[in-house]
Structure 1
């Protein structure tokens, strides 16, 4: 594949919101397979790292997700680019590319992966979810006993079971909400946090349909931000900056006090 072929493939997966370029470096890199330069809107792929076009397409989609991330609001506010939104974009691109026949997942195509995935889901993840629901049922019973005998439920969790309360609460919710144990422990914790029943059902179904943890997290919890230059966005940014400045001023005051004490 050449530069234009890779670019055309990416635009077939999802139209680009802003112009960009693809550059095949013709090099092999031990550090990265590719990178994205936001200022130049340039995707660089070290094509000698790959043995097949399918491998190259995977990395190209990864870097294209960064292009979408930097070209559509909300724009990244820090140097940390591998955010929940990024992973949601990337996983969505992979799914779109698979549906269009432009990328083939090795996890679906290779029989060894398919067998291993089935074993993990059936032997570990689903039983793990069932155990979480059973734990939730027993903890709900413990809550009732604590109320009956005027004992502290939190103390029971802390000193008798040595269980963190957030995890215990998630287990109880998974029991009360009757979540599907096929989700597994971590995904059940995520779904149990969703307050709206309709959104919760959508989140659970999305996970069962194969959507990623981060994609569902963004769908259920990340609120769309206002336009970058809107009054609401600028006021929110000003508030964040004011809070940061206030914290830094307090820290500076403390450091100055300590320096003054050391000088005495």
Structure 2
């Protein structure tokens, strides 16, 4: 399959051959499994103290003291004095099976399966129906994937990046991402994740010559090198079909990456 290469002004003159990876079957379940594996590997371990309830001054009252022989905290005049220690025989007791920090909660995935998920997610970027169903605005786009000449990688100014994205018909999706920011409901607002943001276009380049600097202030836009691509980047949330712009050198490198 051949696809037209767009200039920075949006003109389509020359054509290039798409790598074979774009002919891969789209496997939604495999992609979702790879994304869940990546997300679960970042879960912070949590668990109770292994010595919970043991580090206390509590002692068992002697026989004949007139009180139940349950270990009680020593002292007087403060809130814990006389309280029954946290032990199996007291009301409530310890949790039977509390969370254990040593437990590995990462979802395992085979290397071949993970590689298949990335190839499948790459192939999904050329499907207009999948990209549209994700919510991307592609009214001005007739054919995917979008390929742009390598001079795009050298742009260092946000204004110039915006002009190129407008000529490619992608800017409407950036505006959608900008207008889609909303305040999160619930306690997440207090925990460093106050805003929910929309996912915008993905720019895949062969080499960073300034494009990351030029695009970093655009809402929802991500720039990645070919070697950094993963199923989670290409299919945020495990849903394939992210609107993606490729450079010519990126297509060459992705051909090398998946032809090994």
- Bigger fraction of residues in strand: 2
TM-score by length of 2: 0.21
Specify which structure has the bigger relative contact order, considering alpha-carbon pairs within 8 angstroms and separated by 6 or more residues. 2
TM-score by length of 1: 0.21
- Bigger fraction of residues in helix: 1
Bigger radius of gyration: 2
